[in-house]
Every structure is written in C-alpha cells, then in structure tokens.
Amino acid sequence: MTRFSRRDFVTTATLAVPLLANPSLTSAQISDAVQGGDSEAERIAMDAYIYGYSLITTEVTRVQMTNVPASEGLRAPMGQFSNVKRYPPADFRGVSAPNADTLYSLAWLDVGTEPMVFSHPDMGDRFFLFPMYSLWMPVVESPGARTTGGRAASFLITGPGWSGQVPSGMKEIKSPTRYMLILGRTYADGTDADYAAVNALQEQYKLVPLSSFGKSFTFKAPPVDQNPGFSMTDKPQSVILSMSTEDYFTRMARLMGNVAPPPREDAPMLTRMARIGIVPGQPFNAAKLSPAERESLRDLPRRALAVIGASRSSLGTQVNGWTMTKGLGRYGTDYVKRALVAAFGWPANLEEDAVYPNTTVDSEGRVLNGAHKYTLTFAAGQTPPVDGFWSITMYEIDQGWWFVPNRLNKFTVSKRDNLKTNADGSTTLYFQRESPGPDKENNWLPAPAGDFIPMLRMYWPKSSSPSILNGSWAPPWIQRAG
C-alpha cells in the first residue's frame, strides 16, 4: 500500500473530516467573542470577517495545493489532476477520519483567461463524483453517476463573464469565480485488481484549455511563487489566524475585485462592509477607523473563529444516537454556516451526493468503548437506502479519528463484504475487538480497545421514502451486549 506523508495531506485536512468531529471551543472563549464589539464598526468588522472566511480559506488552500512544480500527493500545479492511488494504511495519521470508500482525484482550475475542458472516460456502473467548488466554496455543479451517468463525457468550464460557442456535445458549467476546484471521488473496493482498474480510469481524467481541445496538448506548469506570503505547510485555519485583520481584509477585497466577484444577493453585505472601507478591488485602510476600533481589530481573528465555532451544534441533529449533518454545499446568504463548513468541514458535499452520520453512544446513552461488544441490526429491507453505496467506517479516538489496526486489515463494513442475513431477513453488524466467530466475520467491524466512533457513509442517498434526506429513514440504535 502506498504510504502518504503528512505533507501530502496537510492542506486537505478537512476533506473527510465531519463537521462535528472537532473539540468544542470553551464556553469562556465563546462568551468573550460574542460580548466583544460595542461599536457599529466593530460589529461590521465581525460580520465582514465571517462573510469572507470561506473565500480566504479556499484561496489559502488553493495556493498551498498548487504552488508546486509537479504533482505530489494531493498537490499539483494549476490545471493538472493529482490522483490518490490507494487507501491510507492502518497507521496513517495525516488526516482525521480517512476515507476507505473512494479514491480522490483533485484539480484546481484557472478559467480567467479561457475556458477549460474536463473529460472523463466511460465509467460503466462504477460510482463516481466530481463536485466542483467556487472560490467562495459552494458547489457549482456535481457531475457524476447521480447527475450525468457513467458514459464518457466532456464539460466546458467557463469563467465569469465568458461568452462564446460551446462545442457540440459538451455541457457548459459556469464558474462564478476565476479559480475553482474539482474534487473527484471514484469508488474502489480495496483489492489490488480494483485499484488497478480505478487507477486506469484516473489516468484518463483530463483537463485542457478550450483552444487545445481535440489537438495535441502538453501541460506546462506555471512558475512556483517563491514568496506566496504565508506558510505552505501550516493548516489553512492556522494560516488565517496568523494574518493581521488588515491583511485579511485586504486579501479579501482584492479577491472580490476580479477573482471572486460577490453574487448579487450579497449586495446588502457589500453596502454594510463599505461603511468601514471594505470595498471589492480596493485595499483596506484601517487608519480610517478610530484608535479604539483599530485596537479591536487586533484580536478579531480569534474572536471571529470562536463565534463561528459556537454555531457548530446548529448543523447537527440527533436521531437514535446518530448525529446527522445535512443541507451543505449550498449556503445562499447564510454566511455563518458557510464559514463554519470552511473552518471545520471544508469543502463539503451536497446532501444529494453523500451524507455521513456518526455516533458515539449506544441505546442507553453510554459512550462506545472496545471493552464491550455491540450490535447494529437493520430490519429486513431496511439497510441504508442508497442509489450509490453505503459503508460504516470504524475510528478510534486519539487526537483525531483514525483507522483501527486489525488482523483483517478491515476498516469498513458494507455490502461488498457479502453480509450475511438473519433468518428473518434482518442484517446484524458486530462492533467489537474480538472476532464474533468465523461465521459472522463478514459482518464484523473490528473495534479498538478504547472509545470509538462508527461513521455511516451514504453515497447518493435515495430521494424517495424511505430516505435519510426527508427523515423517513434513520440508522438504528447501537445495542450493547449484556
């Protein structure tokens, strides 16, 4: 198995991290943040900081991922795919809540000069997904098995203000920002043979400028910026916290000028921000504020992050002990929600593509722990209702959510394990340290010695009842044996 370094994943540490996985901010931090800001200028500054948080997060991540001479890990120059070839090993500690269902294929595009053509081969009946994100972070379009089917396809991705002829047979995808991200996922069953099949598909994921489509094209990486202005290895959240508020607002205003023009619905916010000198395309000048207001900007990053973090509980609902987080990928003018996802779950799928419930407790509200044995039983015909596939991943908790090393090298349980059903048609899964017996190992998900968290991943959940999307289906309680 290929081993990934922390450098490979350091800027993508939230690609697979659930929104509610991070430790909560202390009540003192939250109280202090909410109470701060007496003047209107201070309140506008707080709102503006939260408004721009997804934009700055995505831009920092873009620069960190693309400021390289060649593809390495999940980094690649602008306009080139980087492909993950294998699932992470059991001892991987690079990104919390790693994925063992789909292999990533990631590319950043610059469509400011001319459109780009993205092509993928015939995918057959394999599940795949290519969500595309603007620099503000919402999903722009989501080509894949659910929306466009498995046939070979090409998409014309155009930038803001572009007008021209769309080649026959292509669908135009209009990016509202000059830069955008394609974050592809392709299903793999974890066997060497299937890895080889997926890797062959990944090699055929292509990006070419429109002017070169159908012609011989040789990719040339843009020059590496030797002085990008911030760390290339720190997590984006840390990079942003280290920025002065004036630097943050200046970067934000510059991006809004001609790289990421704000959508029309943001007009009231733009009017509000202009009152303290935050105007698209113009540098922010804190000297125009009063001394007290300038002083208040000094710790605005810390206070704003506390306010963002304080809203985390609003995204999750509890059903049968499972935390459900839905309604992501589209934010409208809910700037706090957008900032929250940027800070703790960047960049997030549409719920129509994937939903990831997780739980930490059994049916009696007791914390799940490997000292005990547990079962999860789906009634006959009540396994997770999906048009794609589902799996449950086991994570141990140790300053993050990590795979559980075990003799089977098994980190998930799903239909691909040829699950055995009970006499009444129900399906029982076993979460425990020791084998439940050779006849039940297909349904076994090995647990660690300490506390653990199972995560149910539902790809392409059904829209008709029963459905997790409308609440007519929910995962059942986990039961502790004895």
Domains assigned to the chain: 1-351 (2.60.40.1610), 357-480 (2.60.120.600)
Query: Does pLDDT of 22 surpass 70?
Result: no
The token duo for 226 is 């030797």
pLDDT at 434: 97
Query: Is the pLDDT score of 113 beyond 60?
Result: yes
- Tens of pLDDT, residue by residue over 449-466, are 999 999 999 999 999 999
Q: Taking 70 as the threshold, does the pLDDT of residue 7 lie above it?
A: no
313 pLDDT above the threshold of 90? no
Q: For residue 429, what are its two tokens? A: 């899964």
Give 252's contacts (C-beta < 8 A, 6+ positions apart): 48, 52, 55, 56, 278, 284
pTM for this prediction: 0.92
- Tens digits of per-residue pLDDT, 377-436? 999 999 999 999 999 999 999 888 999 999 999 999 999 999 999 999 999 999 999 999
CA–CA gap between residue 129 and residue 107 (Å, rounded)? 13
Please provide the average confidence, as pLDDT, over all residues in the chain: 92
Average of per-residue pLDDT across 257-272: 97
Q: Kindly report, residue by residue over 149-161, the tens digit of the pLDDT.
A: 999 999 999 999 9
Of 195, 155, 200, 158, whose CA–CA distance to 176 is shortest?
158
pLDDT in tens, 278-290: 999 999 999 999 9
Query: Where residue 37 falls among pLDDT bands split at 50, 70, 90?
Result: low
- Whether the pLDDT of residue 291 is over 70: the answer is yes
Token digits of residue 377: 């039983």
Residue 25 has pLDDT above 50, yes or no: no
Amino acid in the structure at residue 379? A
- CA of 59: how far to CAs of 127, 255, 363, in Å? 29, 9, 43
